[in-house]
Amino acid sequence: MQIRKENRPEKLCETCAKPFTWRKKWERDWDQVKYCSERCRRNKNKLEE
């Protein structure tokens, strides 16, 4: 599946609320991806202020 850079889908991170774009390593699991990084995934229960 070839996705051009301009057409990559975006989501908002559930922890930090920053937008992040589709990455090749998430190709099969894009629907399940909720966090922009491993750090946000680890801190999912903590609110950053």
Q: Is 13 exposed, middle or buried (0-12, 13-18, 19+ CB in 10 A)?
A: middle
Question: In the chain, where are the structural domains located?
Answer: 5-42
- 13 is written with which tokens? 């991170």
Q: What is the pLDDT of residue 41?
A: 92
pLDDT tens readout for residues 4-47: 767 788 999 999 999 999 998 988 999 999 999 999 999 988 76
Instruction: Please give the DSSP secondary-structure letter assigned to residue 12.
Output: E
Q: What is the pLDDT of residue 47?
A: 60
pTM higher than the cut 0.85 = no
